[in-house]
Amino acid sequence: MALDSKIPSGPISDKWTNYKDHINLVNPANKRNIDIIVVGTGLAGSSAAATLAELGYNVKTFCFQDSPRRAHSIAAQGGINAAKNYQGDGDSTFRLFYDTIKGGDYRSREANVHRLAEVSTNIIDQCVMQGVPLAREYGGLLDNRSFGGTLVARTFYAKGQTGQQLLLGAYSAMNRQIGRGKIKSFARHEMLDLVVVGGKARGIIARDLVSGEIERHSAHAVVIASGGYGNVFFLSTYAMGSNATAAWKIHKKGAFFANPCYTQIHPTCIPVSGDHQSKLTLMSESLRNDGRIWVPAKLEDAKAIREGKKKPTDLSEEERDYYLERRYPSFGNLAPRDISSRAAKERCDAGFGVNKTGEAVYLDFADAIQRYGKEQAFVKGLDANDKALIIKLGRAVVASKYGNLFQMYEKIVDEDPYTSPMMIYPAVHYTMGGTWVDYNLQTTIPGCFSIGESNFSDHGANRLGASALMQGLADGYFVLPYTIGDYLAPEIKTGPISTDLPEFVEAEKKVKAQIEQFINNKGTKSVDYFHKKLGKIMWNNVGMARNAKGLTDAIEEIAALREEFYKEVRVPGTADSFNPELAKAGRVADFLELGELFAKDALHRNESCGGHFREEYQTEDGEAQRDDENFAYVAAWEYKGKPSDAVLHKEPLIYENIKLATRSYK
């Protein structure tokens, strides 16, 4: 099957407008007769659900959390990009488009990214009208800050909880439609299979997580907005419940899975403290606006610090190595995430790590405190030579900008980041890969759409900071509501879809069989045991640096672990009750397949690009070495029964507007 990306013809800046002008529309009276299922209620899902309901469709939303508002988009801290150019620093739609393509290491689809840049400004307008309290300047207008991989300040934010504020905005729009009866919200429900009838997505099988009941829901289209699959690593900044089950189930029903190996490892997370750890906590990239990253310049100092014989504040400027500023002078501490992460790993691998495990670097605010302190002293006409005063004033400014992050750090690490630099280390944060979709955001199954992080399209091999919120809301508010109409226009003839169709019966039977299998399995090990083991394999072999041998090993090990899992897993409780272990078992079963495909994809991609770094393919100074001649394509995998049998389909990436070039942030 040849992949058709359905990119409209014409100049890039007119594609979306022309496309919208010519698509099929559904008559308002007919929309009432069309049902749409949205799985996942993060930024993409809730914005899509609200907009589709507002257009007149009947929407059902599903989320495993106890309320749509708790989807993990809520945890996004730093901000959302938009090409508003409010700062007058030379931003434009084209520049955002260019930065995103370059940031993604030339592995994303031009037409999709340009559309994203175009609608980015609408998102801000929309959210402000909804009452989202974005940060403002004293003049009452919106404030911006700067994020990695760009040379302009185009990031809008709401202190350290931009995600929560944007999600609550989308959730409020959803609530309005729930109140009007246009959305039916199913919380504490998990989609366990997609039902395909006559080649088209016609519904889902879901489990009510409270009663354990298996339900059938039919619809004219199914939208998957279930987020990314980073929890395949077990330890990540994802929520504990974040899972790939919906995305993986549609993959098994015919949706191609694209670029699974493109994973974002975020450079600034709180380091792992021990084996008991269940979760990693991000420290927003916005901190890199003011924080400077360093390790000791001398190995003996690093050793002394690890052993507790020296403190970071004991080291003079000359004894420190601000390695990002040294290696990437023009972007410095705001180098993109993949590059910053690898640089941290490189220093730690070389023995310069600063915590007990040797896997941490410093993020230091001492300079920022001095700078802001002096500024404030000047503004307030106070003595700029009073050291204590400068520190006090500077800390107040830093607290007003990042106070909640500093508090979070102190609660977790039990150390005051105002006096001693933060310790950070990279951690899994986002997956750029996901379900393959065409320009309409439709998967290879007609009627099944995939939006937000669960699709693959916009971030290429590396996502720039503050772009995920932008993409989620762009897809949900402004893209899908148009493109889905084009698919649904002929669907008005379909009429109501019965859930008694044999395809529903069959899908339900399979779901129930798997649940029974888990409950009745006479194993001895918990689901977490397998999940942690999978995570270790992934992190060690398919993490920040990969090589052919490690990947080959990983593929074997994961397959073996999967086999052991089905033999040895123990799931307590019953099928017909609230049973978190049972829900976890299903998710880990899917991760155990996805992980293998992930490694397989990484092994086949004989180049380094963005978050995918193959040790065999690097330049002399350790930078990623792309191979545009052989790998400028999207790798879309077709399910054939086992991950090892998956068939590769290639969608060539054609760059008509941006010249392919070696990415440089020096």
Of residues 107 through 126, those in contact with another protein by CB under 8 A are 122, 124-126
Instruction: Give the shortest CB-28-to-another protein separation in angstroms.
Output: 13
- Compute the residue count for the chain: 666
State both tokens at 431. 């997956």
Instruction: Give the shortest CB-337-to-another protein separation in angstroms.
Output: 18
Q: Give yes or no for residue 141 binding another protein (CB under 8 A).
A: yes
- Residue 337 designated active-site: yes
Which CB sits closer to another protein, 103 or 417? 417
Instruction: Give the shortest CB-348-to-another protein separation in angstroms.
Output: 20
**Secondary element (H or E) of residue 193:** strand 189-197
Q: Give yes or no for residue 67 binding another protein (CB under 8 A).
A: yes
Which CB sits closer to another protein, 182 or 200? 182
Please tell me the distance from the alpha carbon of residue 581 to that of residue 587, in angstroms, as a whole number.
10
Name the phi and psi angles at 630, rounded to 5.
-105, -20
Instruction: Give the shortest CB-379-to-another protein separation in angstroms.
Output: 16
Q: Which of 11, 28, 274, 652 binds another protein (CB under 8 A)?
A: 274
**Nearest partner of 598 among 535, 666, 517, 513, judged by Cα:** 535
Q: Which of 1, 89, 131, 510 binds another protein (CB under 8 A)?
A: 131
Q: Give yes or no for residue 68 binding another protein (CB under 8 A).
A: yes
**CA triplet 394, 395, 400: central angle to 5 degrees?**
105
Q: Give yes or no for residue 25 binding another protein (CB under 8 A).
A: no
| Region near another protein per CB under 8 A, out of 233-241, 544-552, 603-611, 627-635 | 233-241
Within 8 A by CB and 6+ apart from 214, the residues are: 192, 205, 206, 207, 208, 508, 511, 512, 515
Site string for another protein, 79-98 (x = CB under 8 A): -----x-x------------
The residue behind tokens 């310069």 is 352
Q: What is the DSSP string of 567-621?
A: HHB---S-TTS--HHHHHHHHHHHHHHHHHHHHHHHHH--S-BTTB-BTTSB-TT
| Region near another protein per CB under 8 A, out of 24-32, 50-58, 445-453, 654-662 | 50-58
**Residue among 292, 337, 546, 587 flagged as catalytic:** 337
Q: Give the bridge partners for 606, in sequence order.
A: none
Please tell me the distance from the alpha carbon of residue 215 to that of residue 508, in angstroms, as a whole number.
8
Site string for another protein, 376-415 (x = CB under 8 A): -------------------------------xx--xx-x-
Please tell me the distance from the alpha carbon of residue 228 to that of residue 137, in angstroms, as a whole number.
34
Q: Give yes or no for residue 267 binding another protein (CB under 8 A).
A: no
**Secondary element (H or E) of residue 341:** helix 337-347
Is the Cα torsion angle 594, 596, 599, 605 positive or negative in sign?
Answer: negative
Side-chain half-sphere exposure of 504, counting CA atoms within 13 A: 16
Q: How many residues bind another protein (CB under 8 A)?
A: 82
Crossing angle of helices 580-604 and 245-252, in 10° steps, is 60
Which CB sits closer to another protein, 213 or 506? 213
Q: Give yes or no for residue 478 binding another protein (CB under 8 A).
A: yes
| 3-class DSSP state of 333 | helix
Please tell me the distance from the alpha carbon of residue 25 to that of residue 268, in angstroms, as a whole number.
45
| Contacts (CB under 8 A) with another protein, residues 567-606 | 570, 572-573, 577-578, 580-581
Which CB sits closer to another protein, 414 or 656? 414
Q: Give yes or no for residue 140 binding another protein (CB under 8 A).
A: yes
Q: Which of 373, 460, 472, 481 binds another protein (CB under 8 A)?
A: 481
Q: Give yes or no for residue 282 binding another protein (CB under 8 A).
A: yes
Q: Give yes or no for residue 75 binding another protein (CB under 8 A).
A: yes
Residue 278's CB is within 10 A of a number of other CB atoms, namely 9
**Contact call for residues 543 and 426 (beta carbons, < 8 A):** no
| Region near another protein per CB under 8 A, out of 137-145, 226-234, 599-607, 615-623 | 137-145
Q: Give yes or no for residue 646 binding another protein (CB under 8 A).
A: no
Instruction: Give the shortest CB-486-to-another protein separation in angstroms.
Output: 15
Q: Give yes or no for residue 213 binding another protein (CB under 8 A).
A: no
Q: Give yes or no for residue 322 binding another protein (CB under 8 A).
A: no
Instruction: Give the shortest CB-283-to-another protein separation in angstroms.
Output: 10
Instruction: Give the shortest CB-488-to-another protein separation in angstroms.
Output: 15
Instruction: Give the shortest CB-210-to-another protein separation in angstroms.
Output: 6
Q: Which of 11, 88, 139, 641 binds another protein (CB under 8 A)?
A: 139
Q: Give yes or no for residue 12 binding another protein (CB under 8 A).
A: no
Number of H helices, E strands in the chain: 19, 19
The residue behind tokens 């914005």 is 47
Q: Which of 240, 647, 660, 661 binds another protein (CB under 8 A)?
A: 240
Please tell me the distance from the alpha carbon of residue 321 to that of residue 328, in angstroms, as a whole number.
13
**Nearest partner of 267 among 334, 326, 321, 203, judged by Cα:** 334
Which CB sits closer to another protein, 497 or 582? 582
Please tell me the distance from the alpha carbon of residue 403 to that of residue 53, in angstroms, as a whole number.
38
Q: Give yes or no for residue 17 binding another protein (CB under 8 A).
A: no
| Contacts (CB under 8 A) with another protein, residues 517-536 | 524, 526, 528
State both tokens at 297. 């310049």
Which CB sits closer to another protein, 475 or 508? 475
| Contacts (CB under 8 A) with another protein, residues 414-443 | 414
Q: Give yes or no for residue 189 binding another protein (CB under 8 A).
A: no
| Contacts (CB under 8 A) with another protein, residues 323-352 | none
Q: Which of 26, 50, 537, 646 binds another protein (CB under 8 A)?
A: 50
Please tell me the distance from the alpha carbon of residue 4 to that of residue 420, in angstroms, as a whole number.
54
Q: Give yes or no for residue 28 binding another protein (CB under 8 A).
A: no
Please tell me the distance from the alpha carbon of residue 362 to that of residue 420, in angstroms, as a whole number.
9
**Secondary element (H or E) of residue 636:** strand 633-638
Site string for another protein, 149-178 (x = CB under 8 A): ---------xx-x-xxx--x--xxx-xx-x
Instruction: Give the shortest CB-539-to-another protein separation in angstroms.
Output: 18
Q: Give yes or no for residue 477 binding another protein (CB under 8 A).
A: yes
- Find the distance separating the first CA and the last CA of the chain, reported in whole Å: 42
Exposure string over 40-64, b if 16+ CB within 10 A, otherwise e: bbbbbbbbbbbbbbbbbbbbbbbbb
Name the phi and psi angles at 147, rounded to 5.
-125, 170
Instruction: Give the shortest CB-131-to-another protein separation in angstroms.
Output: 5
Q: Give yes or no for residue 16 binding another protein (CB under 8 A).
A: no
Q: Give yes or no for residue 286 binding another protein (CB under 8 A).
A: no
Q: Which of 34, 111, 187, 469 binds another protein (CB under 8 A)?
A: 187
How far apart, in Å, are the Cα atoms of 151 and each of 264, 286, 289, 648? Answer: 21, 14, 12, 37
Which CB sits closer to another protein, 47 or 259? 47
Q: Which of 12, 38, 74, 297 binds another protein (CB under 8 A)?
A: 74
- Active-site positions read 337
